[in-house]
Structure 1
Amino acid sequence: MPAPSVDARPSEQDPSVVLAVGRLVTSSGERAPAWVTIRDGLIADVGGGRPPRPVDEDIADAVVLPGFVDAHAHGALGHDFRSCDADGARAVAAHHLAAGTTDLMASIGTAPSAVLERQLALLAPLVRDGTLVGLHLEGPYLSPERRGAHDPSLLRLPDLGELRRLLDAAAGTLTMVTLAPELPGAAAAIRLLVERGVRVAIGHTACSAEAARAALADGASAFTHLFNGMPPISGRDPGPVAAALESETAHVEVIGDGLHLADETLRLVRRVAPGRVALVSDAMQATGLGDGEYDGRTVRNGVARAPGGSLAGSTSTLGTSAMRLHAATDTALPELVQLTSAAAARFLGLQRDLVPGTPANLVVLEPGAPGHALRVARVMRQGRWAVG
């Protein structure tokens, strides 16, 4: 692809920038060829065919999608949102941005209460300045039986006093909490969180389908990485997976790195729950680095495991997982947009679909080596090229 002719930022003479696009794909369909007008960091207009005026940049050989929205990531480059400082958190966001994630929610794993309060307070300014799209507590109110890589000595029952302190520390930036609804006190915790505007996800749970449905009735609205950290579905004991799939409204996270779920399983979930399924990375601190030991977790051949052998998050970005899924399963690009941005954006209350008035967040895809899959070549965030 030729170097960009402009930095895609408005000039004094003309406040808008027009891009000519080979193929523009959104959740509602696609146009080829197409054009996009950007003004003040927002999409001003889009259309098919010939642009309305001479273009500022021609990327007619590429595919353009909305920027990816990753609502579940723990870190990268050796940094973990549970322990990093603000500079480390910015480095994590920049790494994921380079792979196409223009909206990243920071997931903080189970930790002592004082640590959670500290990290929420530390990361809250990064939500307010737009570096992060929100904060997610994955724990500490999780099932010991389905804890995965979470430290069992730090798991505890829901406590409303602790929750209020955590909410105060986050100062309005706490977006989601994952908990196990079968724990004593979980129902009251769900109601408190929902009253305070926080989304509640069912996860790391050994609950029955009935308990999951009761949690949804109490206000829970999502399932954290479906199938992982919960019992498998069976004929006589369907469990939380069945509750997630039979719901008509619950948001469903899935990890698409090819390790946490078989592609056949992911295909079934997408078929049963169209429009409600979002890919997440669940990226841990080794993402972007090589094999090794990371805070007691071992990464071998790119697979992270806790001491007991359970998977301990992913070492893939959402962009890497999305391109893998597209190549491995021939997932149509409009559905890939649903999985990588549209579903998560709806769940988080964001406007992210490359329509007028939305942020100019987009990903440019190009073919890799001859005969290879598409790859993320360039990334624009709020009207400026962040990568490429």
Structure 2
Amino acid sequence: MAKSVNTQEIAGQERGSIDGRIVTAHGVIDGSITIENGVITELRGTPVSPNAGFHKELPTIVPGFIDLHNHGGNGGAFPTGSLEQARTAAQYHRRNGTTVMLASMVSAPPENLAEQVKRLVPLCEEGLLFGFHLEGPFINACRCGAQNPDFIFPGNPNDLEQIIQAGHGWIKSITLAPETENLTDILDLCARHNLIASFGHTDADFDTTISAIELANHKNVTVTATHLFNAMPPLHHRSPGAVGALLAAARAGNAYLELIADNVHLSDDTVDLVLSERAFFITDAMEAAGMPDGEYILGVLGVTVAGGVARLSDGGAIAGGTSTLASQFAHHVRRGMTLIDASLHTSTVAADVLGISGHAIDASNPTNFVVFDSTGQLQQVYVGNQVI
């Protein structure tokens, strides 16, 4: 967690510099970043091995993290919270290094979803959120995970249009099951409004999932997998199912893969097994992220957190995450992942999914990076003219 929780101007200076090990757009250097008026004006340094990890003495500086699946934190919940509660959640993740984030909803009646996204639009207009991710309601109730099956509905393009209009252009992604009704019409809406189609919470077989991916590709809709492996049938060597289809599509360059790389939702070995240049980490964080063990809510369902693991109070299913992308980044670098690869999976790939340019650490790009100390503890977050 960042040691400072207060946002301030960069010491009132128009120009400054930071020394350390830097993951730039062109490789890793030991050197310095010069900043002027919220823009990187110069990078200088000596290239180091692409296998480099945290510097043993100097700070390590990496691109700001991008989280495309996040339900809240620090006691604030995006699906059900007030504007100020959601602001608390967004600020918590911002000061922990996530500089671009989608606020994730959970399955609910369409009118409730429309009302909630409209309530939180000001956070998008302020730049604290990048937009919204709808996790449902057009998913499969038999793979509902930590969602209320009473609020899961067949695909309805009119309902989706209602939510999109309420979001004033800030709806960026929707999780849906490949087997949901009216998939063609829903994907047409995704294409028209530039929404990501994230397939998940599904019981679909391999062929059904591949067909849905191909249909989305044909409509030029970006495809991701919603938390691969979770809330879908296990991969079987004679029945690869949705997991196999999404892995195959990613290998072919036709889909991207969300991974909750917290060693709870997925073991580290599973993460290693499926990593590729099409995979990116997410937190799936809920309001208990950054909070002590205890009782919480996800949507309308009770959640018990014990040992940092969130599970439904009724039934025990894993119910969202409590990690940050900073903690996932540091964990995987400590276990041997290179800084370049860890940045790829916590920033670069997600930027590609969102179509964001200028996010990397490079001359002329806006200031947007995270500073770790030599032990892998997050120290500061630089966003524009602010240091957090």
Q: Fold match, TM over 0.5?
A: yes
Whether 2:334 is the aligned partner of 1:332: answer no
Q: How does 1:56-205 map to 2 (within 5 A)?
A: 61-205=58-202
Select which of 255, 258, 266 maps to 1:253.
Answer: 258
Q: TM-score, normalised by structure 1?
A: 0.88
Question: Is residue 142–residue 203 contact of structure 1 (8 Å, CA) maintained in 2?
Answer: yes
Deviation at 1:280, TM superposition (A): 0.5
Change (3 A) 1:156 1:382: same
Report the CA distance shift for 1:10/1:275 in structure 2 as closer, same or farther (over 3 A): farther
Q: Distance in 1 between matches of 2:378 and 2:43?
A: 21
1:253-308: CA deviation from partner (whole Å, max 9, x where unpaired): 100111111111100111xxx22111101101111111111121111111111222
Contact 1:27 1:335 in 2 (8 A): no
CA distance in 2, matches of 1:109, 1:246: 27
Q: CA deviation at 1:338?
A: 0.3
Q: In the TM superposition, what is the alpha-carbon distance from 1:114 to its structure 2 partner? A: 1.9
Residue 326 of structure 1: how far off its partner (Å): 2.1
CA RMSD of aligned residues (A): 2.0
Corresponding residue of 2:267: 262
1:330-369 equivalence runs, <5 A: 330-351=336-357, 352-368=359-375
Matched, 1:299 2:315: no
Identical aligned residues as a percent: 34
Counterpart amino acid of residue 124 in structure 1: V
Task: Give the letter aligned to residue 331 of structure 1.
Answer: M
Q: CA shift at 1:9, angstroms?
A: 6.1
Residue 232 (structure 1) aligns with? 234
2:213 touches 2:254 (CA, 8 Å); kept in 1? no
Q: Which of 28, 31, 34 is matched with 1:30 structurally?
A: 28
- Which one-letter code corresponds to 1:16 in the other structure? R
Q: Equivalent residue for 2:15?
A: 16
TM-score, scaled relative to structure 2: 0.88
Tell me whether 128-137 or 351-360 shows the greater mean CA deviation. 351-360
Whole-angstrom distance in 1 between the partners of 2:159 and 2:224: 22
Q: May I ask how many residue pairs the two structures share in their alignment?
A: 360
Contact 1:38 1:383 (C-alpha < 8 Å) held by counterparts? no
Determine if contact 1:10/1:17 at 8 Å carries over to the other structure.
no
Unaligned 5+ segments in structure 2 are 48-56
Q: Is the 8 A contact 2:246 2:257 kept in 1?
A: yes
> Is the 2:110–2:160 contact (alpha carbons within 8 Å) kept by the matching residues of 1?
no
Q: Which has the higher contact order (CA 8 A, sep 6+)?
A: 2
**Alpha-carbon distance between aligned partners in 2 of 1:71 and 1:238, rounded to the nearest angstrom:** 26
Q: Which runs of 5+ in 1 are unaligned?
A: 51-59, 369-373
Post-superposition Cα deviations, 1:18-67, rounded to whole Å, max 9, x if no partner, equal 32x221013642011x22122232222322259xxxxxxxxx82110011
Partner AA of 1:31 in structure 2: I
C-alpha displacement at 1:7, in angstroms? 5.3
Distance 1:124 1:334 in 2: 34
| Structure 1: distance between partners of 2:17 and 2:75 | 38
Q: For 1:28 and 1:157, how far apart are their aligned partners in 2?
A: 46
What is the match of residue 246 of structure 2? 244
Task: Note the C-alpha offset of 1:357.
Answer: 3.1
Q: Is the 8 A contact 2:58 2:374 kept in 1?
A: no
Does the CA contact (< 8 Å) of 2:39 and 2:366 recur in 1? yes
